[in-house]
């Protein structure tokens, strides 16, 4: 038997991050088995500044990128061959020496309100979330609500449901960790109520741009439909300015004919202005950028960026 292909996968050490990495590893191994190759993948756990600073809100540490920079560094300096991220954590503009080589099949992108339904929350009830995107959309639907921060791993977050209130958690995280909500009041929030974050529910696999052997292997776990949707959403964010601190969200879907439909959102930090728009088209980059251009120019969103 020939020598196995050995790879090292950089990942954060949270339960969810490890699940996601194990999922990618299983897909890579399946590709190898299909081709008659034995592939061994070792996880390289990396602690990020966001993992160390649980007392600080993500947006206060710089928003997007705080969960991925150290993981990317492990690949760039040769301590790992690939990195596995939640696609929602990736900055819109990637590192020039890395390539987003694969987006596996996407999970449910929706958010879940846990502890109550939206209509069931009493006036003035507290909702815990560290996401300004989630806050402004909930405030738009229920201006009476109040908000507090929420950090920690998924299991910890479920212990922080405010009395008489709720928390907001990504549906993909709940499903991946097998969390049973049967006996917990909750509501899966339709995208018409809560537009997901760019890339939510999707995984992103990176490797070094010049590592052609690893690129070829990882490309086989790509899910083309998921990739087209995520690329559309990431183009939207890039056109907004990369990683602006304003609440923004987008969700794209691809039909059987390859046409892409995308919904986009841009709001003010105080939640007093919320802009939404929908577009369809065939090409991810052009469609995502057209969505952002409409919200910035035609809908007046550029004024929000200037505040």
Catalytic residue list: 89
- Look at residue 118 and give its three-state secondary structure: coil
Residue 294, helix vs strand vs coil: helix
Write phi, then psi, for 3 (nearest 5 degrees).
Answer: -65, 140
Judge whether 63 and 69 are in contact, CB under 8 Å.
no
Q: At what angle do helices 15-34 and 212-219 cross, to 10 degrees?
A: 90
Give alpha helix (H) positions in 142-278: 154-157, 171-176, 212-219, 224-240
Distance CA(215)–CA(209), nearest Å, equals 8
Three-class SS state of 235:
helix
Compute CA distances 96 → 99, 162, 206, whole Å: 8, 43, 12
Dihedrals φ, ψ of 260, to 5°? -105, 135
Q: Are 132 and 243 in contact (CB under 8 A)?
A: no
**Cβ neighbours of residue 71 closer than 8 Å, sequence gap 6 or more:** 10, 11, 12, 46, 48, 83, 85
Q: Which residues contact 77 (CB under 8 A, 6 or more apart)?
A: none
Cα end-to-end span (Å), the chain: 64
């Amino acid at each position: 038997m020939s020598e196995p292909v050995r790879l090292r996968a950089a990942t954060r050490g949270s339960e969810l991050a490890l699940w996601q990495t194990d999922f990618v590893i299983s897909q890579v191994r399946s590709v190898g088995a299909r081709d008659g190759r034995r592939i061994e993948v070792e996880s390289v756990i990396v602690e990020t500044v966001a993992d160390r600073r649980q007392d600080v809100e993500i947006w206060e540490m710089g928003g997007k990128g705080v969960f991925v920079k150290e993981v990317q560094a492990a690949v760039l300096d040769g301590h790992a061959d690939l990195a596995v991220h939640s696609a929602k954590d990736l900055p819109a503009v990637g590192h020039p020496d890395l390539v987003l080589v694969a987006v596996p099949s996407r999970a449910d992108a929706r958010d879940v309100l846990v502890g109550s339904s939206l209509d069931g929350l009493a006036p003035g009830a507290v909702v815990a979330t560290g996401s300004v995107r989630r806050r402004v959309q909930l405030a738009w639907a229920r201006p009476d609500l109040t908000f507090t921060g929420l950090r920690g791993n998924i299991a910890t977050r479920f212990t922080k449901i405010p009395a008489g209130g709720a928390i907001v958690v990504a549906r993909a995280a709940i499903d991946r960790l097998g969390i049973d909500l049967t006996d917990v009041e909750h509501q899966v929030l339709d995208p018409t109520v809560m537009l997901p974050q760019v890339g939510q529910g999707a995984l992103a696999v990176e490797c070094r741009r010049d590592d052609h052997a690893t690129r070829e292997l990882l490309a086989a776990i790509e899910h083309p439909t998921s990739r087209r949707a995520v690329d559309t959403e990431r183009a939207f964010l890039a056109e907004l300015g990369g990683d602006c601190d304003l609440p923004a969200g987008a969700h794209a879907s691809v039909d059987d004919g390859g046409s892409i439909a995308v919904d986009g959102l841009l709001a003010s930090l105080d939640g007093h202005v919320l802009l939404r728009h929908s577009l369809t088209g065939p090409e991810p980059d052009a469609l995502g950028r057209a969505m952002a251009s409409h919200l910035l120019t035609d809908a007046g969103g550029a004024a929000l960026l200037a505040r």
